[in-house]
Amino acid sequence: MEQAPPETRHLTFLFADVEGSTRLMERHGADAGVALSRYHELVSLAATRHGGKLFERIGDGAYACFTDATEAVAAADALQRAILDHDWGVIGRMRVRISVVTGDVEARGDRYYGRPLYRAARLQGLANGGETFLSGSTVDELGGELPSGTMLRDLGAQHLRDVPEPEHVFSLVHTSRARPDDSDVQQASENGQGKSIVTDEEGPIRVLLVDDHAVVRRGLRGFLELLKDFDVVGEAENGREGVAAAERLVPDVILMDLLMPEMGGLEAIGAIKEAHPEIEIVAVTSFIEEEKVTSALEAGASGYLLKDAEGEEVAQAIRAAYNGEVHLDPAVSRLLAQRMRQRRDAEPVEPLTAREKEVLSQLAKGAANKEIAYELGITERTARTHVSNILGKLGLASRTQAALYAVEHKLV
């Protein structure tokens, strides 16, 4: 019996897999197997509900195809939300990488052949858990129509492994987890792209780990993934990769090693804060040098930890940074306090206004910008401006130094 000739079809493919599935199986055994079965059910359900077809499952990989690119993207969005909302029991959290690619393929029954599938696999490899990447060919077919509560972040041309031509890549971002002042949200709204809605819903704190030692990153990830309020969205092994990852992932907080090859932590902190001042960064290093402490804080770091810090102190530093506060290793605090005592009689070149003294008094109490705004009846942006002016006038590098100044000068 002769096999039917292949049929050329224009389809959109959704590739999904579970980040760290091998580690899940090693840690949780049968429980991980149950979780992976449930994950496959969620993939199948999302694909079917949006007119697609699940045509292959290999291990933790699930592969679906759609005749409509818009429905494929809607299925990807629905799947990520379902994964996020599901109670995974002892597994804790499951994170799925998704790629969506559109193109012409040869179809032989339920088997598909062609470059779009290869590109989808490579694009998926570029993503971290929790991310959904779309090819430019898919975005071209959306006509600006996106699932409600999402937006696109343009990641530009990316070189996929073993793919000669660069791929224009977009990340599908859930605006409920984006920052309200994200310029991409505003741009999407102005351009009429989809139904980008910013809500007050808060998910876990999204953390990026930047350290040149894989063992350190693995230890930090392992600890933070045990805590419900953290989501490790990516890793980088040097400052240059850290800057690129920050641009792509826009995390809430970055743990940044200071001594790394190619680009050190200080340079990376400056580059990231210049491009994304909303990202908080906690500097991490093996030893204290006053010059590095001061430089890190001046570059925009929201905290300073030693690598021998206990896990809970790391978690506290991340939470503090996320809430607009500063967390310093006790030894660093003592160093800064000593420095402040040496200059406590020095007066600022420009005197503080009455309002700035009120803000400084709040800083001494450990208040974050939001709390300062509430106490003084001003906006959070105004509070942030006052803090910046205070630091500039006093020649200080951080909120912590300002608080110490206030105590030394009996302004509280």
Q: Do 329 and 356 sit in the same domain of this protein?
A: no
What DSSP string runs through 126-175? HPPTT-EEEEHHHHHHHTT---TTEEEEEEEEE--TT-SS-EEEEEEEEG
Residue 355 lies in a domain: yes
> Who contacts 141 (Cβ-Cβ below 8 Å, separation ≥6)?
12, 69, 70, 102
- For 346-366, write each residue's pLDDT tens digit: 554 567 888 988 898 888 887
In this structure, is residue 197 part of a structural domain? Answer: no
CATH of the domain at 381: 1.10.10.10
- pLDDT for 412 beyond 80: no
Residues 327 and 241 in one domain: yes
* Alpha-carbon gap, residue 394 to 45, rounded angstroms: 59
Q: How far apart are CA 344 and CA 49, in angstroms?
A: 67
- Cα–Cα distance measured from residue 149 to residue 18, given in angstroms and rounded to the nearest whole number: 24
Asked whether residue 54 is domain-assigned, the answer is yes
Task: Give the pLDDT band of residue 335 (cuts 50, 70, 90).
Answer: low
- Sequence-distant (≥ 6) Cβ neighbours of residue 341 within 8 angstroms: 408
As a whole number of angstroms, the distance between CA 102 and CA 116 comes to 6
Lowest mean pLDDT among 187-191, 261-265, 379-383, 406-410: 187-191
pLDDT score for 332:
66
Question: Does residue 198 lie in a domain region?
Answer: no
- Which of 276, 309, 338 finishes a domain? 338
Residues 78, 180 share a domain: yes
Sheet of strand 253-257: strand arrangement: 230-236, 205-210, 253-257, 280-285, 303-306, 327-328
Domain tally, the chain:
3
Q: Residue 184 pLDDT > 60, yes or no?
A: no
| Lowest-confidence segment of 134-143, 173-182, 191-200, 209-218 by average pLDDT | 191-200
Task: Confirm whether 2 is domain-assigned.
Answer: no
For residue 240, the 8-state DSSP code is H
pLDDT of the residue at 179: 41
On whether both 222 and 165 belong to a single domain, the answer is: no
What is the model's pLDDT at position 338? 59
Give domain status of residue 200, yes or no.
no
* pLDDT for 349: 53
- Return mean pLDDT, the chain: 82
33 and 158, same domain (yes or no) = yes
Q: Same structural domain for residues 179 and 91?
A: yes
Q: Verify that 349 and 220 share a domain, yes or no.
A: no
- Give the range of the structural domain holding residue 372, as residue numbers without chain letter: 345-408
**97 touches 60 (CB < 8 A):** no
The Cα 229–Cα 301 span in angstroms is 21
* Whole-prediction pTM: 0.54
What would the pLDDT profile of 84-111 be if each residue is shown by its tens digit? Answer: 889 888 887 788 999 999 999 999 888 8
pLDDT of residue 333: 65
Same domain as 271, residue 161: no
Q: Does pLDDT of 227 surpass 80?
A: yes
pLDDT-derived band at 79 (thresholds 50, 70, 90) equals: very high
Q: Where residue 232 sits, what CATH number does that domain have?
A: 3.40.50.2300
Q: Tell me, yes or no, whether 333 and 375 share the same domain.
A: no
Domain finish residue from 191, 217, 251: 191
Question: 1 lies in a domain?
Answer: no
Q: Among 290, 309, 338, where does a domain finish?
A: 338
Shared-domain flag, residues 85 and 41: yes
DSSP string over 99-112: EEEEEEEEEETTEE
Helix (H, G, I), strand (E, B) or coil at 37: helix
pLDDT band at 189, cuts 50/70/90? very low
Would you say 39 and 96 are in contact if contact means Cβ atoms under 8 Å apart? yes
pLDDT for 263 equals 92
More confident residue, 23 or 294: 23
Q: Give mean pLDDT, residues 37-65.
A: 95
- Quick one: 303 and 233 in the same domain? yes
| pLDDT at res. 35 | 93
β-bridge mates for residue 306, sequence order: 285
Instruction: Say if residue 9's pLDDT is above 60.
Output: yes
Are residues 27 and 53 both part of a single domain? yes
Q: What is the mean pLDDT of residues 369-378?
A: 86
Query: Looking at residue 41, which CATH number applies to its domain?
Result: 3.30.70.1230
Task: Name the band, by pLDDT with cuts 50, 70 and 90, for residue 253.
Answer: very high
* Partners of 322 in beta bridges: none
Maximum average pLDDT range among 37-51, 277-291, 323-337: 37-51
In Å, the largest CA–CA distance within the chain is 97
CB under 8 Å, gap of 24 or more: what pairs does 227-232 form?
A: 227/315, 228/92, 228/93, 228/204, 229/204, 229/205, 229/319, 230/204, 230/205, 230/315, 230/318, 231/93, 231/95, 231/130, 231/203, 231/204, 231/205, 231/206, 231/207, 232/207, 232/208
Q: What is the pLDDT of residue 393?
A: 80
Do 101 and 138 form a contact (C-beta atoms < 8 A)?
yes
Residue 49, pLDDT above cutoff 80: yes
65 has pLDDT over 60: yes
**What pLDDT shows up at residue 365?**
81
- Contact yes or no for 242/198 (Cβ under 8 A): no
**Whole-number pLDDT of residue 19:** 85
Q: How many DSSP H helices and E strands does the chain contain?
A: 16, 14
